[in-house]
Amino acid sequence: MLKRIKGRIIAKGIGEGPAVVTRQPLSFLGGIDPKQGVIMDPHHELRGTSIAGTVLAFPQGKGSTVGSYVLYQLKRNNKAPAAIINALSETIVAVGAIISNIPLIDKLEVDPIAAIKPGSHVLVNCVEGFVEVEK
């Protein structure tokens, strides 16, 4: 069974993949290895997790605005997430997703961090503005 959850489109496109989910904000500059696409922040609960090709769900970005460029670099290295889901987007991830053509959606009708099972297949449609999750 699939369930559709509506949200707000921040960066256009459609992407799908296995979900990586965290309640902790993410810093892209210094927090993610742009060559490998792996979370390397030693204080992050998902340290060592690859985000390449995933649907990455986290509350919002934090840290340096250079983080936007790290998303761009991930994309160029084919290590970017297929799509991003934020609780509430802020400038760093919004700008990074737009310049990198990574679909980004936020403000879902339900808390995405609670609604999405880690590892489950998720589709993010940022043309119509919804997320499709396995129920």
Partner 1 sequence: MHLTRDEEDILAGESGAVKQKAMEILVALGDIYNAERLIPIESAQIAGVSYKTIGEAGLEYLTDLSGKVVVPTMLNPMGMDRYKWRQMGIDETFVERQLAIIRRYELLGIDAQCTCTPYYVNAPRAGAHLSWAESSAVSYANSVLGARTNREGGPSALAAALVGKTPDYGYHRDENRVPDISVRIDFPLAGSDFGALGYVVGKMVKSQVPQFSFVAPPNADELKALGAAMAASGSVALFFTSERAMPREILEVDRSDVDIYSSSEPDVVVLGCPHCSRSELAGIARLLEGRTVARPLWICTSRFVADRSSSVISRIEASGASVICDTCMIVSPAFEKRRMMVNSGKALEYGPSLCNSHTFIGTTANCITAACTA
Rounded to the nearest 10 degrees, what angle do helices 91-100 and 67-76 cross at? 30
Residue (24 or 64) nearer to partner 1, CB = 64
Catalytic residue among 27, 50, 64, 68: 64
The closest of 112, 128, 65 to 93, measured between CA atoms, is 65
Count residues contacting partner 1 (CB under 8 A)? 26
Reported as half-sphere exposure (CB side, CA atoms, 13 A), residue 129 has a value of 9
The amino acid occupying position 88 is L
Position among 21, 51, 94, 131 found at the interface with partner 1 (CB under 8 A): 94
Pairing of strands 121-126, 13-21: antiparallel
CB of 76 to partner 1, least distance (A): 6
CB of 90 to partner 1, least distance (A): 7
State which of positions 41-60 bind partner 1 (CB under 8 A). none
Is 120 catalytic? The answer is no
CA distance 71 to 80: 7
Residues that bind partner 1 (CB under 8 A): 8, 10-12, 29, 34, 64-66, 68-70, 72-73, 76, 88-92, 94-96, 98-99, 106
